[in-house]
Chains A and B, each alone.
Chain A
Amino acid sequence: NAGVMQNPRHLVRRRGQEARLRCSPMKGHSHVYWYRQLPEEGLKFMVYLQKENIIDESGMPKERFSAEFPKEGPSILRIQQVVRGDSAAYFCASSPVSPTSGGKYNEQFFGPGTRLTVL
């Protein structure tokens, strides 16, 4: 049973280019979360998605960033016109149901992350 898969593991982009980060959740998981980890900082929540729905995007920058989780295929985090400040590790996590469904905690499983470097 494969864990959460993220690709690419490392991505280098020049300023102004687009970055596409992919996340394949664990089998049977329909909830996906994206986090960003800036250098020397903890993870910061960006967005929470279910299949074909954005549930909570309160942590997403208002411009240049978007996320989707289509009915088929991986979840995509898209960063348009990247800037040097976007350089970070981007982590995806998945869970089978909402973390607090059924009155108990349902664990989020984290992927290995994508390290984005903007030159």
Chain B
Amino acid sequence: AQSVTQPDIHITVSEGASLELRCNYSYGATPYLFWYVQSPGQGLQLLLKYFSGDTLVQGIKGFEAEFKRSQSSFNLRKPSVHWSDAAEYFCAVARTNTGNQFYFGTGTSLTVIP
């Protein structure tokens, strides 16, 4: 069965500091992997996705993520966090055979302090 684990429920970083949000997945084959961001009361916005090819993917807003098959991980990183990055972040996986059903992690809430 597919599953996604985000071990950090809440992270607090200082503005300008680097950020890494962890995501581990469980899936038999190579999955499609995604990171979404959700601001309070809003829907989800796609930050980046991994489909195949280069394991380091670049996204919007200066985010990047690295797919590591050996660790079943897809961690999200940003070198310098801005106050506007405070939000909830969700990692998701989709099955490659259908791709239709997404499995989301429980999310990591990011707080940015000045």
Q: Which of B18-73 contact A (CB under 8 A)?
A: 32, 36, 41-46, 49, 51
Interface residues on A, range: 20 to 34
**A45 with B99: CB separation less than 8 A:** no
Given that A42-B104, A42-B105, A99-B100 are contacting pairs, would A107 and B44 also be in contact in the complex, using a CB cutoff of 8 Å? no
A41 touches B106 (CB 8 A): yes
- B101 lies within 8 A of A100 (CB): no
Q: Which of A20-57 contact B (CB under 8 A)?
A: 33, 35, 40-45, 48, 55-56
* Cβ–Cβ contact A42 & B107, under 8 A: yes
Alpha-carbon distance between A41 and B49 when the two chains are bound, in angstroms: 21
Given A55-B100, A99-B94, decide whether A4 and B106 contact each other with a Cβ distance below 8 A: no
Interfacial chain A residues near B46, Cβ < 8 Å: 107
Q: Are B101 and A104 in contact (CB under 8 A)?
A: no
Q: Say how far B98's CB is from chain A's closest CB, in angstroms.
A: 7
Nearest residue in A to B49 (C-beta to C-beta)?
Answer: A105
Q: Given contacts A45-B101, A108-B102, A110-B45, list 10 more A-B pairs with CB under 8 A.
A: A35-B104, A41-B107, A43-B92, A45-B103, A58-B101, A100-B96, A100-B100, A104-B51, A107-B46, A110-B43
B74 at the interface (CB under 8 A from A): no
* B90 adjacent to A43 (CB under 8 Å): yes
A/B interface sample: 6 pairs, CB < 8 A? A42-B107, A43-B90, A45-B102, A100-B32, A100-B98, A107-B46
B43 touches A105 (CB 8 A): no
Which chain A residue has the least Cβ–Cβ distance from B95? Answer: A100
Q: Which residues of B contact A69 (CB under 8 A)?
A: none
- Which residues from chain B contact A107 at a C-beta distance below 8 Å? 46, 49
| Closest chain B residue to A101, Cβ basis | B99
User: A8 within 8 Å of B by Cβ?
Assistant: no
Closest partner residue, chain A, to B36 (CB atom) = A110
A99: chain B residues at CB < 8 Å are: 32, 94, 99-100
Q: Tell me which residues across on chain A come within 8 A of B94, comparing CB atoms.
A: 99-100
Is A98 among interface residues, defined by CB-CB distance under 8 A?
yes
Q: Which residue of chain B has its CB nearest to the CB of A48?
A: B100
